[in-house]
């Protein structure tokens, strides 16, 4: 998610614990809340609006800056948060198949990992098949 943000000139907190006072960001399970008021890719992939996510980051999107300057990124939205809305947990693009996460689905033991990576593989295969079909015409 940080790479998506930086590629779009969205600034990051360099040290979450120092800048917003949330300590112990290593090897932690936090409750992640997916936005309920809007349809999001993450919400449709998971099928629910909260779960425990594995955390290991000391950096994160500057949420206040992102929201204040949202018009610069009409194709992006933060679709989930943790720690009372202080930390962005997912960033989605509406103009392409892109979903970045702050939490680590590859380290989760629950269905989040399977659902997110299944979606990624399915979409990758769909795109490859479309390209193959187009090149065979």
Sequence spans of domains, the chain? 2-135
Structure tokens that stand for 61 in this block: 């999107």
Instruction: Give 65-87 pLDDT, tens digit per residue.
Output: 999 999 999 999 999 999 999 99
Minimal CA–CA distance to 57: which of 19, 18, 104, 100?
104
Binned at pLDDT 50, 70 and 90, residue 26 comes out as: low
Cα 113 to Cα 106: distance, rounded to the nearest angstrom: 6
Average per-residue pLDDT for the chain: 88
Residue that wins the pLDDT comparison between 5 and 25: 5
Q: What is 2-135's CATH number?
A: 3.40.50.880
- What pLDDT does 60 receive? 93
Calculate the alpha carbon distances from 6 to 56, 85, 113, 125 in Å.
18, 20, 24, 27
Backbone angles phi, psi at 59, to 5 degrees: -115, 165
């Amino acid at each position: 998610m940080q790479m998506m943000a930086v590629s779009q000139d969205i600034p990051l907190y360099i040290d979450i614990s120092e800048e917003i006072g949330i300590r112990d960001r290593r090897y932690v399970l936090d409750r992640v809340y997916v936005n309920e008021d809007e349809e999001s890719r993450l919400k449709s992939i998971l099928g629910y609006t909260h779960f425990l996510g594995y955390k290991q980051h000391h950096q994160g999107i500057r949420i206040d800056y992102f929201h204040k300057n949202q018009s610069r990124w009409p194709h992006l939205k933060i679709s989930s948060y943790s720690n009372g809305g202080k930390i962005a947990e997912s960033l989605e693009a509406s103009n392409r198949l892109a979903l970045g996460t702050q939490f680590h689905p590859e380290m989760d033991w629950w269905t989040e990992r399977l659902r997110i990576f299944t979606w990624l593989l399915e979409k990758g295969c769909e795109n490859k098949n479309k390209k193959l079909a187009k090149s065979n015409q």
